[in-house]
Structure 1
Amino acid sequence: MSNYYIHKLADVQSENIGCNTRVWQFVVVLNKAVIGKDCNICANVFIENDVIVGDRVTIKNGVQLWDGLRIDDDVFIGPNVTFTNDRFPRSKCFPDKFPITTIKKGASIGGGAVILPGIHIGEHAMIGAGTIVTHNIPSYAVVIGNPIRILRYTTK
């Protein structure tokens, strides 16, 4: 008997799913992925093998988490956020190792944002919807746009 919920239309190959996590329909989780407790993985999410998701993370619909992604606790990822993991992608040509992208504790990423490979998003940073993140974001920064700009800093 598991202590998490997996929708009957999800394909979850990993056994590393934390208690009270909910995985909804049309989600695919590959076998080496690690997902923490109390997470909500919404419909149409794909999670690759070399991905670690912390506790109490919300991943909204239409997000793909590619190899090299590290998500800390209490992170919110809005609908259709796009992560990338290859700086110079070519068909059938893979890097020896994918860059590590880190999303630190309490960060929020608005819907439709694009996160380039190897980026570090600091604690409690807030990324506006549609923002294209091309460089590291400091903790507590509120950022928007393309090119990205810091609007202000938040206390949490």
Structure 2
Amino acid sequence: MTHYQHETAIVDPGAQIGEGSRVWHFVHVCGGARIGAGVSLGQNVFVGNKVVIGDRCKIQNNVSVYDNVTLEEGVFCGPSMVFTNVYNPRSLIERKDEYRDTLVKKGATLGANCTVVCGVTIGEYAFIGAGAVVNKDVKPYALMVGVPARQIGWMSQHGEQLDLPLSGDGETACIHTGAIYRLTDGQCERL
């Protein structure tokens, strides 16, 4: 076996799980899921059929990753955070043909108990604070908090807030790594 699977976990036939991944207590992975190498699925995680999870993602306890969600490499999903896949669900109306795609780009952090409303893209290394509700696209490196989520700053790849204005231009270094980040016309990038 190329991955660890706890005896209480259910992995349906057809699911792909990469080398060195860990599937913990009471996890359910549906048959169409594609999970990369070195992934950790915490206790009570659900992974739907039409889900792609990149290498080295960490999905903490009590997270459901529903159909049409894609997590690129190195995404962190905090405990009990929520994905949706239908924008306006009703119990008595079938809307499985209305699922909206959600993309979480490389290295992003989704804090504990945050909610990601379907149909958005969260940029690389963005940082969503605990309890925030994301209902629109998020820029790369953006620090988002609140309900609805609003940007209050920028984060480095190391996970430290950068000394940059919210808009305009600027340049700063990460206090831990020395990596340089540049803000140009409201877009942040690592040089």
TM range (shorter): over 0.9
Q: Give the TM-score of the pair, scaled to structure 1.
A: 0.96
Q: Aligned partners of 1:143, 1:44: CA distance in 2, in Å?
A: 26
Are the aligned partners of 2:24 and 2:43 in contact in 1 as well (CA < 8 Å)?
yes
Identity over aligned pairs, percent: 38
Alignment of 1:1-156 (within 5 A): 2-13=1-12, 14-91=14-91, 92-156=93-157
1:95-144 per-residue CA deviation (whole Å, 9 max, x = no partner) reads 42411100000000000000001110000000000000011100000110
Q: Give the TM-score of the pair, scaled to structure 2.
A: 0.79
Q: How many residues align?
A: 155
Runs of 5+ unmatched residues, structure 1: none
Q: Which protein has the larger Cα radius of gyration, Structure 1 or Structure 2? A: 2
Partner amino acid, structure 2, of 1:79: P
Q: Aligned partners of 1:114, 1:59: CA distance in 2, in Å?
A: 14
Higher relative contact order (CA 8 A, sep 6+): 1
Query: Following TM superposition, by how much is the alpha carbon of 1:47 offset from its aligned partner in structure 2, in angstroms?
Result: 0.7
Runs (4+) of structure 1 moved beyond 6 Å?
A: none
Task: Output the aligned Cα RMSD.
Answer: 1.0
Secondary structure of 2:103 counterpart: strand
